[in-house]
Amino acid sequence: MGIIKCIGILTSGGDAPGMNAAIRAVTRAAIYNGLRVKGIYRGYKGLVTNEIVEFKSQNVSNIIQLGGTILKTARCKEFTTPEGRKLAYENMKAQEIDALVVIGGDGSLTGARIFAQEFDVPCIGLPGTIDNDLFGTDTTIGYDTALNTILDAVDKIRDTATSHERLFFVEVMGRDAGFLALNGAIAAGAEAAIIPEFSTEVDQLEEFIKNGFRKSKNSSIVLVAESELTGGAMHYAERVKNEYPGYDVRVTILGHLQRGGSPTAHDRILASRLGCAAVDAIMEDQRNVMIGVENNEIVYVPFSKAIKNDKPINRDLVNVLRELSI
């Protein structure tokens, strides 16, 4: 597409705290390097419907502390069709956008990869998802904030669990990844985490009961990752009621609470680093890569790897939780 003079930014998929910090970083790093910037509203839908606005430095003033995304996000059926993507490309050309920065999860990066292949558009991805499930980066934008939100909620639930001597199942997000559940359980001092990664290996409820979790405690909290593989917190609560009727069981589903809120310092710094690195990558003629962080160093991860490879859970953390929950 020749020399890149203008970058388009969009946020797609589920919102994540820190997306605004990333928008700010990409915008200002691009302007600093002499590039024009255009904000694309409502994700890929905005590309199709031409909801595109020129961004100056002041457009991203005072947003680093905000949760959600000022660019909004939306699902777009049209973009899943060749005709919709062609229209999106034509709007891009009409707006003189030469490259795209896409902030989102694996579905968003999948869209960017297809779009880049069909129209030879340089696309750079930033990992924006609370699930932390993208391969090739140690952490994703929004994950740390969501983890702290879970921690705050579970600390409060612990007060009630202890007062009433109850077993609480707390369902957290993460889709088919157990990072929030496992690390949330360790941080909150929970007794166990039920995660999709182990759903085919062991009966996680039976293992939890067998470990004698009530020997030294009058209350217990178990974090459950929302997933078809685990069945969610309600599934396990029903099992306990049927199989272990002596326990007083309650369920709390944290839901979209985990997506909101002001991003932590960690997420603001991560988003700022990744946003600047995205502009660097574009100026280096990189394309079709996700910007990640490994061992505190910026890395470029091909879309194919970031999307297709499963990010492994650290099994050492499972042992940490098991040892500390006695």
Return the half-sphere exposure (C-beta side, CA atoms, 13 A cut-off) of residue 283.
15
Q: Which residues are designated catalytic?
A: 131
Q: Which residues of the chain have pLDDT under 50?
A: 1
Alpha carbons 37 and 40: distance in angstroms, whole number: 10
Q: What is the pLDDT of residue 176?
A: 87
Please report where in the chains the tokens 């496992």 appear, as a residue: 182
Rg (CA), the chain: 22
Bridge partner residues of 251 (DSSP): 169
Mean pLDDT computed over every residue of the chain: 93
Alpha carbons 11 and 40: distance in angstroms, whole number: 8
pLDDT tens digits, residue range 215-226?
555 678 999 999
Q: Which two tokens stand for residue 110?
A: 């999948």
Q: What is the pLDDT of residue 20?
A: 98
Burial class (CB in 10 A: 0-12, 13-18, 19+), 257: middle
CA atoms 312, 318, 320, 321: torsion sign: positive
Residue-range domains of the chain with CATH: 6-142+263-308 (3.40.50.450), 144-259 (3.40.50.460)
Q: What is the pLDDT of residue 72?
A: 98
Q: What is the pLDDT of residue 170?
A: 97
Query: How far apart, in Å, are the Cα atoms of 57 and each of 26, 33, 39, 61, 237?
Result: 10, 12, 12, 7, 51
pLDDT tens digits, residue range 21-62?
999 999 999 999 999 999 999 999 999 999 999 999 999 999
Alpha carbons 221 and 278: distance in angstroms, whole number: 40
Q: What is the pLDDT of residue 202?
A: 66
Q: State if pTM tops 0.75.
A: yes
Q: What is the pLDDT of residue 91?
A: 98
